[in-house]
A and B are shown apart, each in its own frame.
Chain A
Amino acid sequence: MSELSDKIKDVVEQAPVTLFMKGTPQFIMCGNSDRALRALQQAGAPVTAVDILPDPAIRQELTGLYGWPTIPQVFVKGELIGGADIVEELAASGELEQKLEKALGPDYRAAAEERTVSVV
C-alpha cells in the first residue's frame, strides 16, 4: 500500500462524511461535484472535502481502493454512498438524512462544519 492510499483511507475512515471532488467547496471545478456538494449541504452533512485535481494519482488510488470510476465520490463513515446521481436521488427521497442520522447520530447537523483536507 502506498503512502497516498493510506492517507486516502485515513480520511475516508475517520471523517464522518467525505466528498472527493474536483476543486474545493470554495472553488468548484465540476458540475457533478457541485451537485453532490449541494445535496450534502442541504441535508446538513458535516462535509470533509478532498480536491482530487492536484495530483492524478489521487483519482487512480481512489478508483483502485473502492472500485468507483468517476468523481465525485461520497463516503459516510467509511462506506461508499455513491456519486452525484445517487446522492441527489437519496437527498430527494429523504434517505440521505436518514442515513446520516443512523451513521452519525440525531445531532449530526450540529457538527456540520465544512472543511477541506489535502492528501498530497
Chain B
Amino acid sequence: MDAMATERLETLLREAFPNAAELAVEDRTGGGDHFQVVVADARFGGLSLVDQHRLVYDALSEPLADGTIHELRIKTKGTA
C-alpha cells in the first residue's frame, strides 16, 4: 500500500518531467503520506522557486487533492 503511493507519485512526476536529470520520491515516515520529492530539470532554469514548486504541485495535483499526500517537501534544481 505504502510503496504504491510512492510509485504513483514517481509515475506522475516522470510524466511531467520526462527529461529530468534527477528525480526521487522518498516516503519520509514509511506511512505512505509524508513525502520528500527531488526534481532536477532544465525546465526550472530561470524560474523563481515559487514557479518551480508550482510545476511540481501541478504534476501531483491529484494525490494532493485526494488526500494521499498529507505532507510534501519539495527540492527543485535547475540544470544548465
Residues of A within 8 A of B (CB): 31-32, 67-70, 80-86, 89-90
For A32, the closest partner residue in chain B by CB is B71
CA A69 – CA B50 in complex, angstroms? Answer: 12
Residues A80 and B74 in contact, CB atoms below 8 Å apart: no
**Bound-state Cα–Cα, A31 to B36, Å:** 14
8 A Cβ contacts from B9-67 to A: 49-50, 53-54, 57, 61, 64-65
* B57 A86 Cβ-Cβ under 8 A: no
Q: Is the CB of A80 within 8 A of B64?
A: no
Q: Is the interface of B mostly helix, strand, loop or mixed?
A: helix
Query: Are A67 and B54 in contact, with the CB atoms below 8 A?
Result: yes
Q: Which residue of the partner chain A has the closest CB to B71? A: A32
- Contact of A85 with B54 at beta-carbon distance under 8 Å, contacts A32-B71, A70-B72 already known: no
With A69-B61, A69-B64 in contact, is A85–B50 under 8 Å at CB?
A: no
Which residues in B have some Cβ–Cβ distance to A below 8 Å? Answer: 49-50, 53-54, 57, 61, 64-65, 71-75
Most chain A Cβ neighbours within 10 Å, of B50, B54, B64: B50
**A49 CA / B65 CA spacing, docked (Å):** 25
Shortest CB distance B54–A (Å): 7
Question: CB-CB < 8 A to A68: which residues of B?
Answer: 50, 54, 57
Q: Return 6 A-B CB contacts under 8 Å, by A number.
A: A69-B57, A69-B64, A70-B57, A70-B64, A82-B53, A85-B73
11 new A-B contacts, CB < 8 A, other than A80-B50, A84-B73, A86-B53, are A32-B71, A32-B73, A68-B50, A68-B54, A69-B61, A69-B64, A81-B50, A85-B53, A85-B73, A89-B49, A90-B49
Determine how close the nearest CB of chain A comes to the CB of B52; give it in whole angstroms. Answer: 9
A90 and chain B: residue at smallest CB distance: B49
Please report the C-alpha to C-alpha distance between residue A67 and residue B73 in the assembled complex, in whole angstroms. 17
Complex alpha-carbon distance, A67 and B49, angstroms: 14
